[in-house]
Amino acid sequence: MLRALITIWKCVESVTYLFLDIICVNTMLVKITKNHCKDIYEYANDKDFQFYLNGNDNYIYSDAVHFVNMLIEQNLSGKRLYFGIELQGKVVGTAGFLNISSKDKTAELGYGISRNFWGTGILRSHVIQIIEIGFSNLMLEKILIGVKCSNYRSISFAKKLGASELNTLNSRKWFQILRP
């Protein structure tokens, strides 16, 4: 059973951003902190993970530190609403919104999880909750998902979320989920 503990996190541009500890299948969404650098490095320093993300074969620890610092900064500024996916005290993935536009009522959905958990449903259960936050709390009208054309699993994942295909641009397939 899903249990959500909601605490107001920050108000930016008249939109209330929520920090949620969402507990689901022995995992939960958590606020990203600098303490998560090692965990993120461990799962992101995987050849297959990097291939589908950006093709970087030389992912190093400082890349994880940069990513975490960017998430923290952009979460605080309201440009993102991104969470860590924690399992037994360890972050095994991240998911959330980037390029949030309260004016256009749109945001992009991003996600990534350790290859050890691909196909387990852990990511899907949290992304569904994040989508609900987008429509209910951020008042989004449209959520966009950009996926590398060669990432068939992520394309299938977007479709399972109910996303419809928009177009292909710069070797990325774009999908949208509209407010129900």
Q: Give me the residue spans of the domains in the chain.
A: 3-178
Position 177 pLDDT exceeds 60 = yes
Question: N- to C-terminal Cα distance for the chain?
Answer: 24
pLDDT at site 52: 83
- Residue range 51-84, pLDDT digits in tens: 887 767 788 999 999 999 999 999 999 999 999 9
What is the mean pLDDT of the segment spanning 118-133?
Answer: 94
Contacts of 55 (CB under 8 A, 6+ apart): none
Contacts of 1 (CB under 8 A, 6+ apart): none
Q: How far is CA 150 from CA 43, 55, 57, 172, in A?
A: 20, 11, 16, 8
Homologous superfamily assigned to 3-178: Gcn5-related N-acetyltransferase (GNAT) (3.40.630.30)
| pLDDT above 90 coverage of the chain, percent | 73
pLDDT at site 54: 72
Phi/psi at 36 (5° precision): -90, 0
Question: What is the rounded average pLDDT for all residues in the chain?
Answer: 86
Contacts of 131 (CB under 8 A, 6+ apart): 109, 143, 161, 177
- The C-alpha angle 14, 123, 37, rounded to 5 degrees, equals 75
Q: Where are the alpha helices (DSSP H) in the chain?
A: 37-44, 47-53, 61-77, 122-136, 152-160
Dihedral angle computed from the Cα positions of residues 157, 51, 172 and 13, in that order, rounded to the nearest 10 degrees: 80
